[in-house]
Amino acid sequence: MPEASTVPSTPPPPASAATGGAPAKSAPQKAMEKLGLARDIDLALHLPLRYEDETTLTPLDRSRDGDTLQCEGEVIESRIEVRGRRQLLVKLRDDDGAQVLLRFLHFYPTHQKTLAVGARVRARGEIRVGFFGREMVHPSFRKVDEQTPLATSLTPVYPTSAQLPQAYLRKAVASALRRAPLDEVLPQAMIPRGLPPLRDALNFLHHPPPSAGLSTLEDHTHPAWQRLKFEELLAQQLSQQRAQRERAHLRAPALRGSPGGLHERLLAALPFALTGAQRRVAEEIAADLARPQPMHRLLQGDVGSGKTVVAALAAAVAMDAGWQCALMAPTEILAEQHFRKLIGWLEPLGVRVAWITGSIKGKARQKMLDAAASGEATLIVGTHAVIEDKVRFHRLGLAIIDEQHRFGVAQRLALRKKLADEAAGAADSGAPGAGPLEPHLLMMSATPIPRTLAMTYFADLDVSTIDELPPGRSPIVTRVFADGRRDDVVEKIAAAVEDGRQVYWVCPLIEESEALDLKNATETHAELGEALPGRKVGLLHGRMPAAEKAATMAQFSSGELDVLVATTVIEVGVDVPNASVMVIEHAERFGLSQLHQLRGRVGRGSVASVCVLIYTGPLSDTGKARLRAMAETTDGFEIARRDLDIRGPGEFMGARQSGAQLLRFADLQEDAPLLSAARALAPRLLDEHPRAAQLQVERWLGHKTEYLKA
Ligand code: ADP
Ligand code: MG
């Protein structure tokens, strides 16, 4: 969050602002809500980014160039000057007669009023000493008189937004801090030794005395910070472990394959043997399915490691046991590809597959809905349309989500709700057994979560990992080119196509403009068409109707097209084993895991594959680190580890959780000792002091608890 300018001339909030009660909300109040600062406790836990020292005044004649200081004096001149742009220039003279010029490039009439000639003003900012004397650009300032006391503690600077002035937020936090219920909820014996009481820690962090060591405050090693981080980690561990316990009380159908059943027949019919890793994870999943508690498992495996067939085997177990299975993918292309693959495998074995996406409408849709509701279709494949209200299942036993991190938090919550509804519905219809049976849930992801993160963020998630690629894959060689050498790349592509290879060409991602995205892809399409006379170059982009996309994809799959120019719609999961060259333009605009996903589209057959990354400089340090990582390794776990290093866990998880950032203060790596203390304490607290556990979670997570389950 950016920090807003600190101009205290904004009208201060009424003292009771934080509790609300007034019918119309002011802009700052709305901004506070947007930041999740609804309750007193939320404000009390909104901690400063840094501090400003307003406890002393520095005589101007003792200041040096570059000092940040606070001074006080009388305004002796105030004028607006137009030099290129309008500026407000204010001359201040302190009690020793030394002067400073305050320069404002942005200002409002209120600035001028406060800074009128004769006013006594306290200003804080950085001193610059130039040819015309001392100057401060955009100092913070306020009107005072001789009696106005100096601050007795350091002034907090909070994370905020443009609509929420620091001064307003400071007052709101200070008064919320007085009201917030901050009594200890933890039994004294359970608080790690050396950490101060919560109330003391918060008072200290919001208003530290001038003597407080700024360095331990700013690097968060101060005991008061440690206490806060411990609290946060504990709340998070509690909520995770509690979710895990709740799940243990839920009931699910125990699903077992029958001898000679679908599961065995599918295994026998596959054109390949499973890898050891596939066999292992398939067994882990089968063991979960056989239990009468809902499975909640993440299957992670690098791109191309063969997760789809593992999903199909799980589905076969469910169908064998007489239940339905739903398989969801984040995009229509991917859903369609699953659909074809699963039909290819399962229809010969007598399985009816229904297909539900947003673009299937009218009668065709009704037919699919009927097949799902009657139980005639036992496997239902599609996009998130599958979890829409209108879709009813006969007996849903297993839900599988592919590329689960691509689904938004809201969609994941909708899915959980759907599964619970299905459970209730099944109970109504008199399904065998007492009480509702919740379907099992299997999530799949090609972006592995490093183990420590998986354990902390997903305590309520079992993880299976495919750590082996199917045999016969040849390694992908990755080359990095500056865009000045684009012509060389085009030449190489022409040669590869001569050799009978198929090429993906991914066009730059331009986030702000889909139209530009398209223009780029269209131009590249034309350019490659010219460079490759007699060859077929296809184009795939996000604006094409689904049917057209599918047709183009099918042409590429069948080898009819030599080159496929695409925007990132091909990113996830597309499987064309004959494609062996991948070009990614403006590679510096992609995240590391995204590049890895894209690169995973090649290297699926037995021909040696190449990935060409074209970048446009100058590169930032992280940009360089990313491209280097791509060139140095093709191991998805190593890439995830480096991604974590480059971005830090907060952002890593932030992106993954679609913005729901879960830890604000603690750092899983730096604060590992606090984390293990919290992890060990959580089960004891849940067992021995359930009320305290509940309060702790509410205090920290409030409305966010739902998201933690998603
Ligand atoms: P991902 O894990 O990225 O979803 P897929 O399930 O799409 O990977 O599998 C990639 C390719 O590997 C597919 O063409 C699939 O049929 C093939 N495949 C999967 N398992 C094996 C195996 N054990 N032996 C050979 N090929 C396999
Ligand atoms: Mg896949």
Residues paired with residue 610 on neighbouring β-strands, in sequence order: 477, 581
192 ligand 1 Cβ < 6 A: no
Q: What is the pLDDT of residues 237-277, one digit of tens each?
A: 888 888 788 878 888 999 998 889 999 999 999 999 999 99
Q: What is the pLDDT of residues 236-248, one digit of tens each?
A: 888 888 878 887 8
Q: Which residue has the higher pLDDT, 8 or 392?
A: 392
The answer to whether residues 457 and 564 belong to one domain is: no
Give the mean pLDDT of 158-170: 86
Substitution candidate for ligand 1 out of 305, 338, 400 with most atoms within 8 A of CB = 305
Q: Is the pLDDT of residue 14 over 50?
A: no
The answer to whether residues 310 and 269 belong to one domain is: yes
The answer to whether residues 547 and 449 belong to one domain is: no
Q: Which of the listed residues 617, 633, 649 is the one where a domain comes to its end?
A: 633
Q: Is residue 696 part of a domain?
A: no
What is the model's pLDDT at position 212? Answer: 77
Q: Is residue 135 part of a domain?
A: yes
Query: Sorting pLDDT into bands at 50, 70 and 90, what band is 430?
Result: very low
The whole-angstrom separation of Cα 400 and Cα 335 is 12
615 close to 625: Cβ distance less than 8 angstroms: no
What is the model's pLDDT at position 549? Answer: 83
What is the model's pLDDT at position 517? Answer: 57
Query: Any idea which ligand is nearest the CA of 310?
Result: 1
Q: CA neighbours within 13 Å on the CB side: how many for 404?
A: 24
Query: Any idea which ligand is nearest the CA of 575?
Result: 1
Q: Is the pLDDT of residue 471 over 70?
A: yes
The answer for 449, left when phi > 0, alpha when psi is -120 to 50, beta otherwise, is beta
- Whole-number percent of the chain with pLDDT over 90: 37
604 ligand 1 Cβ < 6 A: yes
Q: What is the pLDDT of residues 185-217, one digit of tens each?
A: 888 888 888 899 999 999 999 999 888 777 778
Based on its alpha-carbon atoms, the radius of gyration of the chain, rounded to whole angstroms, reads 31
623 ligand 1 Cβ < 6 A: no
Q: Which residue has the higher pLDDT, 327 or 512?
A: 327
Q: Is residue 227 part of a domain?
A: no
- Give the count of domains, the chain: 3
Q: Which ligand 1 atom sits nearest the alpha carbon of residue 310?
A: 6
Query: Any idea which ligand is nearest the CA of 402?
Result: 2
Q: Is the pLDDT of residue 26 over 70?
A: yes
Q: Is residue 459 part of a domain?
A: yes
The whole-angstrom separation of Cα 352 and Cα 354 is 7
What is the model's pLDDT at position 606? Answer: 73
The whole-angstrom separation of Cα 285 and Cα 313 is 9
567 ligand 1 Cβ < 6 A: no
CATH code, domain with 137: 2.40.50.140
Atom 9 of ligand 1: nearest residue by CA position = 306
Going from the Cα of 584 to the center of ligand 1, the distance in angstroms, rounded, reads 23
275 ligand 1 Cβ < 6 A: yes
309 ligand 1 Cβ < 6 A: yes
The whole-angstrom separation of Cα 53 and Cα 127 is 15
Atom 13 of ligand 1: nearest residue by CA position = 306
- Residues 6 or more apart in contact with residue 451 via CB below 8 angstroms: none
What is the model's pLDDT at position 660? Answer: 33
What is the model's pLDDT at position 616? Answer: 87
Query: Any idea which ligand is nearest the CA of 345?
Result: 1
Instruction: Kindly give the interhelix angle for 636-656 and 621-632, rounded to the nearest 10 degrees.
Output: 140
Per-residue b/e over 358-389, b at no fewer than 16 CB within 10 Å?
Answer: eebeeeebeebbebbeeeebbbbbbbbbbbee
The whole-angstrom separation of Cα 671 and Cα 650 is 13
The answer to whether residues 578 and 429 belong to one domain is: no
Question: Order of strands, edge to edge, in the sheet holding 99-104?
Answer: 128-130, 133-137, 99-104, 85-93, 68-83, 120-126, 140-143
The answer to whether residues 446 and 496 belong to one domain is: no
Sign of CA dihedral 232, 233, 236, 241: negative
The whole-angstrom separation of Cα 389 and Cα 418 is 8
Atom 5 of ligand 1: nearest residue by CA position = 306
Q: Which of the listed residues 121, 137, 157 is the one where a domain comes to its end?
A: 157
Atom 20 of ligand 1: nearest residue by CA position = 306
What is the model's pLDDT at position 456? Answer: 59
The answer to whether residues 447 and 547 belong to one domain is: no
460: containing domain = 262-466
Going from the Cα of 604 to the center of ligand 1, the distance in angstroms, rounded, reads 8
Give the mean pLDDT of 108-117: 90
Q: Which of the listed residues 606, 633, 660 is the one where a domain comes to its end?
A: 633
Query: Any idea which ligand is nearest the CA of 273?
Result: 1
Q: Is residue 411 part of a domain?
A: yes
Phi, psi of 500 (to 5 degrees): 85, 15
What is the model's pLDDT at position 638? Answer: 83
Q: Is residue 684 part of a domain?
A: no
Q: Is the pLDDT of residue 135 over 50?
A: yes
Q: Is the pLDDT of residue 298 over 80?
A: yes
CATH code, domain with 533: 3.40.50.300
What is the model's pLDDT at position 404? Answer: 77
The model's pTM: 0.67
Nearest CA to 575 among 352, 309, 388? 309
Q: Is residue 213 part of a domain?
A: no
Cα angle for residues 602, 604, 610 (degrees, 5° grid): 35
Per-residue b/e over 75-102, b at no fewer than 16 CB within 10 Å?
Answer: beebeeeeeeeebbbbbbebeeebbbbb
307 ligand 1 Cβ < 6 A: yes
The answer to whether residues 292 and 363 belong to one domain is: yes
Q: Which ligand 1 atom sits nearest the alpha carbon of residue 575?
A: 7
Going from the Cα of 303 to the center of ligand 2, the distance in angstroms, rounded, reads 7
Q: What is the pLDDT of residues 566-587, one digit of tens each?
A: 886 655 456 788 888 999 998 8
What is the model's pLDDT at position 459? Answer: 58
Q: Is residue 540 part of a domain?
A: yes
